C-alpha cells in the first residue's frame, strides 16, 4: 500500500520584491505557473495531496487558476495564513498584516495535514530530482521513533543563484549528512566569480562559499510531529518577542533547531542535482521562462502540462 504524501505550498507571501502576486505569473508555454510544475513533479514522485497555504483574500484567484487546473489530478485543499490562532493575551496581533513566518504558516495547516509532508515555496522552481529525493525520504519515514527524523533537500549553491542580485539562502553546516546549523545569508556571485555569503545576523562577518556547498531552498520534509513542536513553542516565541510583535517572524529553522538541541529530532540533508529557478526580481522572469522552454523542448515536461 502506498503511503499518503502531502505537498504544502507556502503562497501567503506578499511578493514585495517582485512587485505583485508572483505566484500567478505565467511561465510555461500554455500559461503554466511555477506552482504547476511543482505539483506536476510532486505527482510524478508519488504525492497525492496538495495544500495551498494562502492569504484568504487570494482564495478566488488561486481557486480559479491553479486550483481548477490541478483538481482533476490531485486532491486539493486550502489553508489560510491569518492570525486568528494567536493566544488571547496577544489579541493585538490579529490586526497585523504581514504573515507571522513559516512556522506559523505550518501551524495554520494543522487541520489539513496529518501525514508526512513536504514544505516548499510557491515561487521557486525546484526541479524533478528534488521531488524524487524528497518523496523517497518521506516514504521511508518512521513517525513512531522517539527522536523524529526530519529532512531537508539540499542544493548546490551554484545551482541556485540569480544574476540579478543577491538572494537569501540558508547556508547549511552538516555532520555526517545531518544538519547542525543554517546561516541565513544574502548570497551573491562577485565579479571575480567567487561566491560571497553575507549573514543576515549583522554580528557575523561575510564569508566565501564554495560553489558546491549546500544551501537550503526551504524544501523541508516532516511528519505531523513538527506541528506539535510549533504549537508548543508558540507561546514562548511570542513572549520572547513581545516588544517586536509587528515585525517578528516565527520561522521553521528556529522550531527545527530547538527540537534538535533538545534531542527530540534530527534532520538529514538530502542532496539533489536539481537546478533552482525563481523570480526573486522582475528581471528573473525571462530567464525562468527560457529555462522552462528548454526543459519542455528536451521532453522533460509536456508542451501542455495538464492536457
Report the percentage of the chain scoring pLDDT > 90: 67
Listed range (6-20, 176-190, 212-226) with the worst mean pLDDT: 6-20
pLDDT tops 50 at residue 18: no
Give pLDDT, residue 24. 61
> pLDDT band at 70, cuts 50/70/90?
very high
pLDDT tops 60 at residue 136: yes
Kindly state the average pLDDT of the residues 171-186.
96
The grid coordinates listed for 79 are 489553508
> pLDDT band at 145, cuts 50/70/90?
confident
> pLDDT band at 1, cuts 50/70/90?
very low
Please provide the DSSP assignment of 155-224 as one string.
Answer: EEGGGS--TTS-EEEEEEEEETTEEEEEEEEEEEE-TTS-EEEEESSTTSPPEEE-TTSEEEEEEEEE-T
Mean pLDDT for all residues in the chain: 90
Give pLDDT, residue 14. 45
- Choice between 262 and 2, residue whose per-residue pLDDT is larger: 262
Please say whether the beta carbons of 43 and 74 come within 8 A.
yes
Please say whether the beta carbons of 259 and 158 come within 8 A.
no
Kindly state the average pLDDT of the residues 183-191.
93
Give pLDDT, residue 104. 93
Please say whether the beta carbons of 140 and 221 come within 8 A.
no
Q: How would you label 80-112 residue by residue, b for 16+ Cβ within 10 Å and e otherwise?
A: bbbbeebeeebeebeebeebbbbbbbbbbbeeb
pLDDT tops 50 at residue 17: no
Please say whether the beta carbons of 279 and 22 come within 8 A.
yes
Give pLDDT, residue 49. 97
Tell me which residue of 226, 207, 251 sits closest to 101, measured CA to CA: 251
Listed range (98-102, 194-198, 202-206) with the worst mean pLDDT: 98-102
Gap between the Cα atoms of 44 and 33, Å rounded: 17
> pLDDT band at 69, cuts 50/70/90?
very high
Residue range 91-105, pLDDT digits in tens:
778 778 777 889 999
> pLDDT band at 22, cuts 50/70/90?
low
Structural domains of the chain in order of their starting residue, each with its CATH number: 6-146+218-264+277-297 (3.90.550.10)
Amino acid at each position: 500500500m502506498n503511503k499518503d504524501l502531502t505537498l504544502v505550498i507556502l503562497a501567503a507571501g506578499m511578493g514585495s520584491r517582485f512587485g505583485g502576486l508572483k505566484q500567478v505569473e505565467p511561465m510555461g508555454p500554455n500559461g503554466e505557473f511555477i506552482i504547476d510544475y511543482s505539483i506536476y513533479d510532486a505527482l510524478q514522485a508519488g504525492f497525492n495531496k496538495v495544500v495551498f497555504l494562502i492569504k484568504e483574500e487570494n482564495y478566488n484567484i488561486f481557486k480559479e487558476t491553479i486550483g481548477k487546473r490541478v483538481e482533476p489530478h490531485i486532491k486539493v485543499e486550502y489553508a489560510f495564513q491569518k492570525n486568528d490562532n494567536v493566544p488571547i493575551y496577544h489579541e493585538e496581533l490579529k490586526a497585523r498584516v504581514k504573515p507571522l513566518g513559516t512556522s506559523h504558516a505550518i501551524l495554520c495547516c494543522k487541520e489539513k495535514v496529518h501525514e508526512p509532508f513536504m514544505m516548499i515555496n510557491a515561487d521557486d522552481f525546484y526541479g524533478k530530482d528534488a521531488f524524487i529525493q524528497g518523496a523517497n525520504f518521506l516514504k521511508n519515514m518512521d513517525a513512531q521513533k522517539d527522536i523524529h527524523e526530519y529532512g531537508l533537500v539540499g542544493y548546490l549553491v551554484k545551482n541556485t543563484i540569480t544574476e540579478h542580485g543577491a538572494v537569501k539562502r540558508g547556508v547549511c553546516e552538516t555532520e555526517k549528512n545531518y544538519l547542525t546549523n543554517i546561516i541565513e545569508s544574502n548570497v551573491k556571485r562577485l565579479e571575480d566569480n567567487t561566491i560571497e555569503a553575507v549573514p543576515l545576523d549583522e554580528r557575523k562577518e561575510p564569508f566565501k562559499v564554495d560553489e558546491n556547498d549546500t544551501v537550503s531552498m526551504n524544501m523541508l520534509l516532516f511528519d505531523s510531529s513538527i506541528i506539535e513542536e510549533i504549537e508548543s513553542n508558540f507561546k514562548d516565541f511570542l513572549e520572547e518577542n513581545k516588544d517586536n510583535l509587528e515585525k517578528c517572524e516565527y520561522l521553521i529553522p528556529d522550531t527545527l533547531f530547538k527540537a534538535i538541541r533538545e534531542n527530540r529530532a534530527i534532520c538529514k540533508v538530502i542532496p539533489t542535482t536539481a537546478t533552482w529557478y525563481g523570480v526573486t526580481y522582475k528581471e528573473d522572469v525571462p530567464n525562468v521562462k527560457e529555462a522552462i522552454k528548454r526543459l519542455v523542448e528536451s521532453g522533460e515536461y509536456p508542451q501542455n502540462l495538464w492536457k
